[in-house]
Structure 1
Amino acid sequence: MHRIDIYDTTLRDGAQSEDISFSVEDKLRITEKLDELGVHYIEGGYPGSNPRDIDYFRKVSRLKLVNSKVVAFGSTHRPKKKPGGDETMKALIEAGTPIITIFGKTWDFHVKEALRVSLEENLDIIHDSVTFLKKHAEKVFFDAEHFFDGYINNPKYALKCLKAAQDAGADCLVLCDTNGGTITSVVGDVVKKAVKGYAVPIGVHMHNDADCAVASSVTGVETGASHVQGTINGLGERCGNANLISIIPNIQLKLGMKCLTPEQLRKLRDVSRFVTEIANLRHFKRQPYTGDSAFAHKGGMHVSAILKRPETYEHVSPGLVGNSQRVLISDLAGKSNILRKAEEFGIRLSTDSVQIQDIVTKLKELENQGFQFEGAEASFELLMKKSLGLHKKFFELMGFRLIVEKRKEGEEPISEATIMVKVGGHVEHTAATGKGPVNALDNALRKALEKFYPELKEVKLHDYKVRVLTAGKGTSAKVRVLVESGDKGNRWGTVGVSENIIEASYQALVDSVDYKLLKEEE
């Protein structure tokens, strides 16, 4: 059975979603999560388009990825320029990725109206771009932009574009429904013809403007495509891209084709929720396979049936994708998730342990308050270890004070934090400034503790996010703060929740410090 390659473009196409803005650190964390999931290709961005993507490609090369290869994305060279003199081509090469993907025009309408070149000249542009990049990369993928619209309008020309890329050495020809309006049956017919006509693998890249992206992607695989592009949770411009969270299990569990290992597939829910948290969005409860409601049962007849045989109202076993069954009138979910997390954290916990229920109860209490741990794995590990008596108190807070002073119009406010902590029998009282109150508090806390725990000197605060949880309450709303910290070798996320943004930030900062010190002692 041949493998279906999964190509993720969350960091590039997904980042073009309205209300989405990934920092470089966000993109690096998501890259590591996608590698854990086992996707084969991660499209990191468009290195010629902005400084953020340039920085990402510089830093991602330092990550030790196990399953995934990072891809740089760009366009064919510009008309009236040779590939060697084109800035886009140079940027793609300088990104240093083993795989490069370029898109080129395949709809004659776009060639004439957008590029304003002849149809023959566009074929030369495709051929010359692929030929040039093949000298600098292990593989070059060709994204045939607007392919389905082009095929419907002028099939001979659209196919000539694919042939130009193949003849130049392209390693995969990806048929793109760039406007997202192609009906699924048409996708199947076109893919079937393309697979027969070309020697290299065929891929599909669907947008969701007609709400057909997932179905069309699966149909593309059924009719011969062996490469599927999409994003986590269907993020993307306009109505979004094809949702890999649905595509992957559909291909693996419904079609019986291999994408990921069973172990990797069980990480699907975690990855879905992780990306949602990093994107600072609300979780979609009704998302197929991974949503909270995907395997939730409320109706009495349904509940009675699934308690006897789950398959009566569940199309797959929820555990296959890392989810769990929920009975809404008497919530039974939780224990399996705790056991799985305990195993990840190296914590020994038996299935019949009474401590599991204590952790589940505490977790539900915290979630009711607004805590979410998908992007804050370190806080969840600390929660488990505190419940199991495996955590020690490294310091005691005796108090802190924050001062934010703005002296005159046009100048940035000055933030200063004063903090007093007790370590053993010693009291440390110190102060620090920062770029904002949270940065000042972070600096003061670590400054007070570094005397006792010098390993904290290598900890840095990489990212900080705030989400308002209670709409309609204005400045008195409850907020959730997500903090990402790191040292020389690792990164970890922590969380805090409060009506007071400083208190929520302090909770997350303390967890970050505790996590570092706990790991140093292991």
Structure 2
Amino acid sequence: MTGERIYLYDTTLRDGAQTQDVDFSVADKIAIAKDLDRLGVDYVEGGWPGANPTDDQFFAEAPQLTRAVFTAFGMTRRPGRSAANDPQLTALAQSSAKAVCMVGKTWDFHVDVALNIPREENLDLIRDSIAALHAAKGEALFDAEHFFDGYKRNPAYAVSCIKAAYEAGARWIVLCDTNGGTLPHEIDAIVREVVETHGIPGDRLGIHCHNDTENAVANSLAAVLAGARMVQGTINGLGERCGNANLVSLIPTLMLKLGYETGIRREDLHLLTQLSRAFDDRLNRAPNRHAPYVGASAFAHKGGLHVSAVEKDPSSYEHVAPEAIGNRRQIVMSDQAGRSNLIVRLRDIGMAVDAKDDRLTGLLDLVKQRDSDGYAYDTAEASFELLVRRELGEVPRFFELLRFHVTDERRYNAVGKLVVESEAVVRVRVGDAVRLEVADGNGPVHALDVAMRKALEPVYPALAQVSLSDYRVRILAAKDGTGAMPRVLIRSARTDGTEWSTLGVSTNIIEASMEALVDSYTYALMKSEAKPV
């Protein structure tokens, strides 16, 4: 199988757009299409011309793709109309797309109930539509909707549908597990029968799987191993209900594990992690840390035994090199950590400590104690570095927070609108001077951040380049209700793109927030090599 070609068809902009709470703008669709083209995907399905104003505008402003085939989606002609007189087929033919993919019924149950037409007429819909778009565009694809359900109920009819499309000139016959309920062993058996018994060659056969049983990726791989040579999917597994097959997982599995070639160059596989995370950022959602291959935790090692082995040979606990897909290895510090974890983490932050250094035992005990207190340093690398450097006396004293006070007021303003205002007062020692600052903010944490900046930025202007990009709270002891222990994680960023995380833990959420803020300022100043006044 090594070296055989698999074609990649991305349907993020159409099937992925049907994800709940996902709504692409035209600008989003253009940017995503260009990212997929840069990666080397073979087909980018842009949407359904005529279905909605966004898709109409997108096809009117279609991006110029250099590697991918820009594809439009639609359905076979309507019953009672000829292909020439079907407005939907006309819109597909006149679109800016280079190819067209049409969905049609292959499950007799749907033909009988949903279309309510004779089964032979459905075959005519498929033949006429594929022939018309093949003539208009040169490349037509057929999505055999509900094929696996239809095949299990009436294999002869399901096969007659895909043969109608194949004989009418479809470049790809795409077998769809539309309900997402088929299992890998069934996919394998049915695809093999389609190829070996029913005469549809594998190099004309594609697979389209939904993830309703968490098997979309496995089902897609099963189809490929059974002979299919085109895979449809979406970025990060977006899609209706439980999503579609995740191309971000499929691509490296096909190339690195199974040895197939795709339109993606081996040297460009490192773009996957960046593409996956940038896509989530565009959707304004946090990337899945535990996503295979590209997740921040995909190559994170926490147990001391694991870390010790990885130090000797990464392949002992890593199935591929993280750099191959643009990810990186992380050594996690927690109460599960051993000396190996600590030594690697110290080395990563530029601290060369001998493995026999007596200070390591104390540092490891400190980290484990703090972890049991709620400080999860596996998600806050900046706070971990500060903890270690403070213990070793290597953190300059840039400032000292002496006290702070926050008030929230809920009132009606001058025009009678109900507002909630926060005011923070901070007293900070910077060098020999004590600075008192007051600031309003959109909530208590924002007010504290503004007040601290007023106190620090005149002395340390480097802080003006730092902003807070994320703020999260996790309750560590939910059983205590409103008296529970919250852990605050703050993500900060510098204008050059550098990011870091700090945390605070306290029964008082404002105190926990302030601890994380102080760590963020201190880390930023330390990394900017600011000099204490």
Question: What's the counterpart of residue 454 of structure 1?
Answer: none
Within 5 Å, give how 1:37-76 maps onto structure 2: 37-60=39-62, 63-76=63-76
Structure 2 Cα separation of the partners of residues 142 and 40 of structure 1: 16
2:244 is the alignment partner of 1:241: yes
Is residue 185 of structure 1 aligned with residue 211 of structure 2?
A: no
Alignment of 1:267 with 2:301, yes or no, is no
Alignment CA distance shift 1:241-1:93 (3 Å)? same
Equivalent residue for 1:143?
143
Q: Structure 2 vs 1, CA of residues 21 and 480 (structure 1 numbering), >3 Å: closer, same or farther?
A: farther
Shift of 1:65: 2.2
Equivalent residue number for residue 106 of structure 2: 106
Question: 1:13 corresponds to which residue?
Answer: 15
For the residues of structure 1 that align with 2:136 and 2:107, how far apart are their CA atoms?
Answer: 28
Whole-angstrom distance in 1 between the partners of 2:189 and 2:158: 15
Alignment correspondent of 1:326: 330
Query: Would the aligned equivalents of 1:206 and 1:216 in 2 still touch at CA under 8 Å?
Result: yes
The aligned residue for residue 95 of structure 2 is 95
**Alignment-mate amino acid for residue 107 of structure 1:** W
Q: Once the two structures are superposed, what CA deviation does each residue of 1:438-471 show, in whole Å capped at 9, x if it has no partner? A: xxxxxxxxxxxxxxxxxxxxxxxxxxxx997446
Q: Does 1:289 align with 2:293?
A: yes
Question: Are residues 479 and 313 of structure 1, via their aligned partners in 2, closer, same or farther at CA, if it must alter by over 3 Å?
Answer: closer
1:135-284 maps to which residues of 2 (within 5 A)?
A: 135-196=135-196, 197-199=199-201, 201-259=204-262, 260-284=264-288
TM-score scaled by structure 2?
A: 0.63
Q: CA deviation at 1:94?
A: 2.4
Equivalent residue number for residue 312 of structure 1: 316
The Cα shift of 1:57 comes to 1.1
Task: Tell me how far apart the structure 2 counterparts of residues 273 and 37 of structure 1 sit (CA, whole Å).
Answer: 14
Q: Is the 8 A contact 1:103 1:144 kept in 2?
A: yes
User: Partner amino acid for 2:139?
Assistant: K
CA gap of 1:304–1:72, structure 2 versus 1, over 3 A, is: same
- What is the identity, as a one-letter code, of the residue corresponding to 1:83? A
- Number of the residue aligned with 1:344: none
8 A Cα contact 1:325 1:333, kept in partner: no
Structure 1 residues 125 and 309, CA gap change in structure 2 (3 angstroms): same
Partners of 1:54 and 1:95 within 8 A in 2: no
Residue 17 of structure 1: CA displacement? 0.6
Contact persistence 1:34–1:42 (CA under 8 A): yes
Distance in 2, Cα, partners of 1:190 & 1:147? 10
Instruction: Find the residue that maps to 1:135 and give its secondary structure.
Output: helix
In the TM superposition, residue 215 of structure 1 has moved relative to its aligned partner by 0.4
1: CA distance between counterparts of 2:102 and 2:209?
16
The change in CA–CA distance for 1:40 and 1:480 in structure 2 (over 3 A counts) is farther
What is the CA-CA distance between 1:2 and the residue it aligns to? 2.9
- Could you say which residue in structure 2 is the equivalent of 1:124? 124
Gaps of 5+ in 2: 334-340, 349-379, 386-412, 418-467, 476-487, 502-533
Tell me which residue corresponds to 1:4. 6
| Distance of 1:217 and 1:242 partners within structure 2 | 7
- Alpha-carbon RMSD across the aligned residues, in angstroms, is 3.3
In 2, distance between residues paired with 1:23 and 1:233? Answer: 18
Deviation readout 1:57-82 (Å, 9 max, x if unpaired): 1112xx34222111100100111111
Partner SS for 2:206: strand
1:135, distance to aligned residue in structure 2 (A): 1.5
Q: 1:111 to 1:333 in 2, by over 3 A?
A: farther
d(CA) in 2 for partners of 1:83, 1:248: 37
Alpha-carbon shift at residue 129 of structure 1 (Å): 0.4
CA distance, structure 2, for counterparts of residue 57 and residue 481 of structure 1: 38
1:26 partner SS: helix
Q: Distance in 2 between matches of 1:80 and 1:192?
A: 36
Hey, what's the Cα distance between the residues in 2 that align with 1:334 and 1:269?
A: 25
Q: Match of 1:201, as an amino acid? A: R
The amino acid across from 1:76 in the alignment is T
Higher mean C-alpha deviation, range 313-322 or range 192-201: 192-201
Number of residue pairs matched by the alignment: 365
The whole-number CA distance in structure 2 between the counterparts of 1:124 and 1:467 is 56
Tell me the TM-score normalised to structure 1 length.
0.65
- The 2-side partners of 1:67 and 1:164 are apart by 30
Give the secondary structure class of the aligned counterpart of 2:166: helix
Residues 365, 68 of structure 1: alpha-carbon distance in 2 compared, 3 angstrom cutoff? farther
Displacement of 1:38 after TM fit? 0.8
Over 3 Å counting, the alpha-carbon distance change for 1:408 and 1:16 in structure 2 is farther
Task: Return the letter of the residue paired with 2:229.
Answer: S
Aligned residues of 1:195 and 1:201 also touching (Cα < 8 A): no
Residue 226 of structure 1 aligns to which amino acid in structure 2? R
Code of the residue aligned with 1:206 in structure 2: it is C
Structure 2 letter corresponding to 1:269: T
Change (3 A) 1:472 1:255: closer
Structure 2 matches for 1:418-437, cutoff 5 A? none
Whole-Å separation in 2 of the counterparts to 1:479 and 1:335: 24
Contact 1:194 1:202 in 2 (8 A): no
